[in-house]
């Protein structure tokens, strides 16, 4: 590969990593993977050579138990594993207090999963607050509505993630152009084995909580919203040798 192409890949990756504009980062990520496919490269070749890794940088504040479960689910969808940590290790200047979330997996898998997680969590919480103002009965406390809405959305998102993973393992997923993706079972199995080995060396345990529902109506509204959030739109970027049809950046 010539120096000009390498530089182009470097710039696209930098744009994909830039959190300033979520939309521009996603566009750059699609172009990056299309260019990799054109040159017969796998996304793992852009890793730092350490394979499965984690990072203290780019951690997210966990808004609640519903949020944590959404984070865990989307991490699995994108070949990663989610972890939560107490604030003494991960809290940095300017960050809110509370439990924080990070990912274990290959670097580009982690970057994609983090983008999707941030988008989904923000949209769920924003819609929960909006619906609290427009749909909440007067006798229901605003926080009870918001919490229950988020739990409903979290439930539906987790169900849909499981369905997407199962479909991906069977080769039943399509990309945005309607082309069939290859069977992803080997990728999921290899990612899980690598992560398990990493965790065994790292000796990490994951705490899994239970959520709380205070309003059945809000929970139902949250379920309905969870049915519509975008989840699997970036899986095609990580499927091997499936992006040769994509246009060059």
User: Tens digits of per-residue pLDDT, 171-191?
Assistant: 898 877 787 878 888 889 988
Separation CA 63–CA 242 (nearest Å): 36
Judge contact between 52 and 103, C-beta under 8 A: no
- CA distances to 21, 27, 163, 216, 235 from 247, in Å: 22, 12, 29, 46, 17
Of these ranges, 16-20, 55-59, 115-119, the one predicted with the greatest mean pLDDT is: 115-119
| Residue found under tokens 């350490």 | 50
Distance (Å, rounded) from C-alpha 175 to C-alpha 171?
Answer: 11
Geometric angle at alpha carbon 32, from 160 and 226, rounded to 5°: 15
Q: Is residue 175 within 8 Å of 181, Cβ to Cβ? A: yes
> How far is the C-alpha of 161 from the C-alpha of 75, rounded, in Å?
10
**Which segment of 127-131, 206-210, 233-237 scores lowest on mean pLDDT?**
206-210
pLDDT for 206 beyond 50: no
Q: Is the pLDDT of residue 64 over 80?
A: yes
Query: What is the pLDDT, as a whole number, of residue 22?
Result: 61
Of 48, 44, 34, which Cα lies nearest the Cα of 5?
34
pLDDT of 42 higher than 80:
no
pTM: 0.65
In 3D, which of 138, 230, 201, 30 has the Cα closest to residue 12?
30
Apex CA 113: angle with CA 152 and CA 103, to 5°?
A: 95
CA distance 133 to 149: 12
Structure-token pair, residue 235 = 């899986």
Question: What's residue 61's pLDDT?
Answer: 80
Per-position b or e across 97-114, b if 16+ CB within 10 A of its CB: eebbbbbbbbbbbbbbbb
Confidence bin at 57 (pLDDT 50/70/90)? low
Share of the chain above pLDDT 90, in %: 28
Q: How far is CA 37 from CA 7, 105, 187, 243, in A?
A: 16, 21, 17, 6
For residue 82, what is the DSSP state?
Answer: E
Residue keyed to tokens 């898998």: 109
- Work out the pLDDT band at 145, boundaries 50, 70, 90: very high
H or E segment and range at residue 76: helix 65-77
């Amino acid at each position: 590969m010539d120096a000009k192409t390498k530089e182009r890949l470097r710039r696209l990756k930098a744009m994909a990593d830039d959190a300033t504009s979520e939309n521009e980062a996603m566009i750059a990520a699609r172009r990056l993977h299309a260019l990799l496919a054109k040159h017969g490269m796998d996304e793992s070749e852009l890793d730092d050579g350490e394979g499965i890794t984690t990072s203290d940088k780019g951690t997210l504040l966990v808004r609640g138990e519903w949020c944590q479960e959404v984070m865990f689910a989307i991490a699995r969808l994108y070949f990663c594993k989610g972890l939560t940590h107490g604030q003494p290790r991960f809290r940095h200047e300017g960050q809110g207090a509370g439990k924080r979330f990070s990912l274990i997996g290959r670097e580009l898998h982690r970057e994609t999963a983090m983008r999707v997680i941030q988008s989904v969590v923000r949209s769920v919480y924003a819609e929960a607050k909006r619906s609290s103002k427009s749909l909440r009965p007067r006798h229901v406390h605003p926080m009870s509505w918001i919490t229950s809405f988020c739990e409903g959305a979290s439930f539906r998102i987790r169900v849909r993630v499981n369905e997407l993973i199962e479909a991906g393992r069977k080769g039943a997923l399509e990309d945005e152009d309607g082309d069939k993706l290859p069977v992803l079972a080997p990728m999921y199995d290899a990612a899980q084995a690598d992560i398990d080995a990493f965790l065994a060396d790292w000796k990490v345990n994951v705490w899994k909580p239970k959520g709380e529902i205070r309003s059945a109506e809000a929970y139902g509204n949250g379920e309905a919203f969870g049915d519509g959030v975008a989840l699997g739109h970036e899986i095609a970027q990580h499927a091997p040798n499936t992006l040769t049809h994509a246009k060059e950046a």
